[in-house]
Structure formats: structure tokens, C-alpha cells
Structure 1
Amino acid sequence: MKNSSVQDSVKKAAVDLFATQGYATTSVQQIVEAAGVTKGAMYHYFRSKDDLLFAIYEQLLTLQGERLSQIVDSGLPTQETLRAVCVDVIETSIDYLPEGTVFFRSVHMLSDERQEEVKRRRRKYHDDFSSIIERGQREGVYRADVPRAVLVAHFFSDVHYLSHWYSPAGPESKGKIAAQITDLFLDSLSADAPARRR
């Protein structure tokens, strides 16, 4: 089995087991048996279950961070940039829905060091996301009567809630869901939103 296959097999087995029987009650032995590898092979890549749980979510964090940078660097106008970022973070969250679901259920079991690392990485993404909104506020296209932190939290609460209701087997595709949630957020963000309520 190739090195990348070992890592992928271990992570997939861990996600499946953590989802069905919980992180705390899943043993390393169960993970390696399900993955079809030895403990030595697993420990070559993951020093502990803690490392493995972090790696499951770190893969998504890295992907989304890289995609955000690519979109911002593409030089699109602000409104197109934010739309593309919103759609991307929703679609990638759906692509990694099992991993995200497992992680958010078990994040409190990570070591303090790992929890701080996750917070730092997520804060960096949120800060970069917020900077796009700030740019739109300076341009006069986004409302400025609500703190940016609230606007960011509003969007990501919808993203993090996906695992509670979205099913790939449902009638709506990930693309349609991403477009709908993005449209709702961008409508609420528009500089014209307060005027429409009066």
C-alpha cells in the first residue's frame, strides 16, 4: 500500500468509526483493523488519536484556505470575489461533511495545543473573509451598520449548521444549496438592506 493510500485509509476508517461509535470509544486497534494497516504504519503518520482527529479537519482547513487565497488573488471585483468564496466554502464543507461532522462533535476532546491550533487557523480564515467585506464596505456596496464580526458569524453559523440537516441524498445539489445560502447572505449584506426594511 502506497504512503498516501495508508494515510487516506486510516483517515477514512477513523471518520467512519468516530461517526458511528464516537471518538472516545474508538480504539487505535479498531482503526488499524478497519483500515487494513498495522499500528506501526498508522503511527508513522499519526502519533495518536489526537493527531488523527486534528488531521481529519486540518485537511479541510488547508483546502479552504488555499482556495480562498486563489480566489482573492484572481483579481475579481469585490462582490464577485465574496460570492465565489462563499460558494466555495459551502461546497467544500459539503464535500467534507462527514469529516466536519465528526470533528465538531469531538473537537472538545483535542489537546489544548491542538484546540488552539484549530482556533488560530479558523481565525485566520475568518479574518481574510472579513477583509473582503471590509473592502466592500469601503466601496459602499456592503452595509456598515452591523459589526463585521457579526456578519461573519452570521454566515459561518449557516455553514457549520449544514451537518444538522443537509444530506447528499436529498433533492438539492450542493451547488444549488451553496448558491441559495450565498444569495441569502449577500442580500442581507447589501448596502440597500437597511433601506428595504424601512
Structure 2
Amino acid sequence: MKNTNVADAVLQAALDLFATQGYATTSVQQIVEAAGVTKGAMYHYFQSKDDLLFAIYDRMLTLQKRRLEEITSAGGDTIDVVRAVCVDVVESSIDLLPEGTVFFRSMHMLSEPRRKEVTRRRREYHDEFAALIAQGQAEGTVRTDVPRSVLIAHFYSDVHYLSYWYSPSGPESKSEVANQLADLFLRSITLEDG
């Protein structure tokens, strides 16, 4: 195996094992065996299981934040931008379903500095999304009779549970599910005459 692929192989093996059997019950030995590398090779790239867990979160958070910034910088009507962000976060969450599984089941097991970093980065994303909702409210297209935090939680609760109910082999494609969830969300937050 080429050195450039060792880190990827280790990370993929860790992801698969953490998603199927849990972070706490997965040993470093199981990870290196599944990756087909030695412990020394793994430790060249990752000092601990905590490094592996954080790397899984980092990949997911980096991708979703980059996509959010691409969508928002493209501009357009606020509701169209909100819809595009909603579709993207569902599609990317489905693409990263194992990462999402690990994320929501194991985040509390990160070391405290890493947990704070993940929380900070999630808050950054949340704040950008909240700013879009606030912009829609200021424009009169998004309802204001429900607190903004509740509107946002309404959508993200669906996203957070994708790993529990969505199956890529199920009847709906990721795009169908993403569009359905975005439509349901937008119908629930937009004003009739907005």
C-alpha cells in the first residue's frame, strides 16, 4: 500500500468500525487489521483513536461548511438560497451517512478540546443558516410567530435522524428525500403571501 493511501485506509477502516460496532468498543488493533497496516503506520498519521474520531468529524464539517459558503455566495432570493442549503445538507448527510452515524452516537466521546472545536464549527454553520432565516423574516417571507431557534431545530431534527431511518437501497433516492424534506420545511416556515 502506498504511503499516501495509508491515512485514507486507516480512516475508512475506523469509520466503518465506529459506525457498525461503536467507537468505545473498537480497538486500535481492529482498525489496523481492517486497514491492512501496522500500528506504526497508523500512528504516523493519527496519534490516537481521538484523532481518528476528530478526522471523521473534520471531513464532514469541512465539506458541509464549504458547500454552505458556495451556495450563499452564489446569491439569489433568500428562500431559494435556504432551499438550496437544505437540499445540500440532506444530500451531503446521506453521502456521509456513516460519518453522521458516528457523529451523533460518539461526539460526546471526543476529548474536551476536540469536542469544543466541533461544537464551535457546528455553531458557525448554524449561525450562517440562522442568518438566512433572519433575512427571510426581515423580508417578510418567513414566519415570525415561531422563534427562529424552533424553526431551525424543526429542519435539523430531520437531518440528525437520517442515519436512523434512511437507507440508500430504499425506495427514494437521496435527491428525492432532500427535495421532499426541503419542501416540507419551506412550506412550514414561509408565509402564504410572502
Q: TM-score, normalised by structure 2?
A: 0.95
1:41 and 1:17 mapped to 2: Cα distance? 18
Which 10-residue stretch deviates more, 103-112 or 124-133? 103-112
Please name the residue that 2:154 is paired with: 154
For the Cα contact (< 8 Å) 1:144–1:191, is it kept in 2?
no
**Alignment pair present for 1:68 and 2:68:** yes
Please name the residue that 2:78 is paired with: 78
Shift, 1:148, TM fit = 1.1
| 1:124-153 deviation digits (Å, cap 9, x = unpaired) | 000000101111111111111111111111
1:20 and 1:93 mapped to 2: Cα distance? 17
For the Cα contact (< 8 Å) 1:130–1:152, is it kept in 2?
yes
1:157 and 1:113 mapped to 2: Cα distance? 25
Please name the residue that 2:89 is paired with: 89
Please name the residue that 1:114 is paired with: 114
Q: TM-score, normalised by structure 1?
A: 0.93
2:68 and 2:3 mapped to 1: Cα distance? 28
Shift, 1:4, TM fit = 4.2
What is the number of residues matched between the two proteins?
194
Please name the residue that 1:6 is paired with: 6
**Structure 1, unaligned runs of 5 or more:** 194-198
2:129 and 2:167 mapped to 1: Cα distance? 26
Shift, 1:88, TM fit = 0.2
Shift, 1:48, TM fit = 0.6
1:87 and 1:41 mapped to 2: Cα distance? 39
**Structure 2, unaligned runs of 5 or more:** none
Amino acid at match of 2:78: T
Q: Give me the identity figure in percent.
A: 68
| 1:22-51 deviation digits (Å, cap 9, x = unpaired) | 211211111111101222221222111011
Please name the residue that 2:165 is paired with: 165
Looking at both structures, which has the greater relative contact order when contacts are Cα pairs under 8 Å and sequence separation is at least 6?
A: 2
Please name the residue that 1:196 is paired with: none
2:17 and 2:138 mapped to 1: Cα distance? 48
Which 10-residue stretch deviates more, 17-26 or 110-119? 17-26
